[in-house]
Amino acid sequence: MKKFSTTVLLIALMCSCTLSPDSKTKKIEFTDSFDQHIVLEKAPARIVSCAPLITEIIYALGEEKRLCGRTDYCVYPPQAAAVSSIGGLMDPCLECIVKLEPDLVLASTHFKKSVADKLGQLNYPVAVMMSQQSIAGAEELISKIGQVLGVTVKADSVITHMQQERQRIIAKLPVDAPHPSVYYVVGFGKQGDYTAGGDTFIHELITLAGGKNVAADVKGWGYSLEALMDKDPDVIIIKNPMKQAFCETEPYNQLSAVKNNRVYEIDNHLIEINGPHIMEGLEQLVDIFHP
């Protein structure tokens, strides 16, 4: 088994990093959110990703050859399914991670500190990369991971492409286009109603695409059925394959969007994962709102 520093690396988006441009062999130094000065002798060659967003970014950076492990929820891009799984987001298999002998474990919001502590005791460093609820936050996270992997030039290229795509897509919007009211379905039914509130990046995507998020006045992901029925949005966006169940369930089948056949299925990985492919999600929203 390889041996590494016992320091558990907890990195947040506000951390500062410095390294030689695109050097995978020189030291990488950064200060984490707890002001711990971290030094990696070289860019990690074997990585376990404990979050779908991190997995997607690794692929976008062209560094998937370093990915030796991922969670059951890391299914985008599809080729990630060929990588060994370590289990769930909150309860990954510790033995599975150890067996893979990673140089670095990259985790995010749902990763338990107790698991990180155990890995640290076993001399496996863990970096917790927290995402922000904004497109700018996605770009910053791509930059941070690019720094940790020693591929800053590639990370800058990915970010530039995202910005160029955003400009191209927004330019497609008609000058005098109407702004339909929109509801994004995260969950519905007996377990409660969930959507994207006004402080989420999905709200930002809906707004950029020329829509008006009916849940703009709430924070987070919870919503009420009464508010949804009262707002009665023009357009409903829902992930595949939930449309049929939604449209056939009381009282959702009474909504105008359902009656007017304006319920649209979308690949939720392009909308709900705040990473390199959200511009594809933005373009799909534009095409739905302004056919």
CATH number of 172-289: 3.40.50.1980
Widest distance between CA atoms in the chain: 63
| Structure tokens given for 215 | 């849940």
CATH number of 16-162: 3.40.50.1980
pLDDT in tens, 187-233: 999 999 999 999 999 999 999 999 999 999 999 999 999 999 999 99
Higher pLDDT: 250 or 126? It is 250
Average pLDDT over residues 87-107: 92
pLDDT in tens, 24-43: 567 877 654 445 566 778 88
Higher pLDDT: 78 or 32? It is 78
pLDDT above 50 (res 154) = yes
User: How far from 180 is each of 12, 233, 266, CA to CA, in Å?
Assistant: 36, 8, 17
**DSSP assignment letter at 187:** B
Run of H or E residues at 94: helix 94-100
d(CA 129, CA 114): 16
Coil, strand or helix: which one is 222?
strand
d(CA 278, CA 269): 8
CB neighbour class for 18 (10 Å; exposed up to 12, middle 13-18, buried from 19): exposed
d(CA 85, CA 97): 9
How crowded is residue 133: how many other Cβ atoms within 10 Å of its Cβ?
A: 17
d(CA 18, CA 147): 7
Run of H or E residues at 68: strand 67-69
| Domain locations in the chain as residue ranges | 16-162, 172-289
| Structure tokens given for 252 | 């959702």
Average pLDDT over residues 238-243: 94
d(CA 70, CA 79): 12
Query: Are 16-162 and 172-289 in the same CATH fold?
Result: yes
Q: What is the pLDDT of residue 129?
A: 82
Residue in the structure block whose two tokens are 């990369």: 129
> Pairing relation of β-strands 126-128 and 193-194?
unpaired
pLDDT in tens, 52-66: 999 999 999 999 999
pTM: 0.86
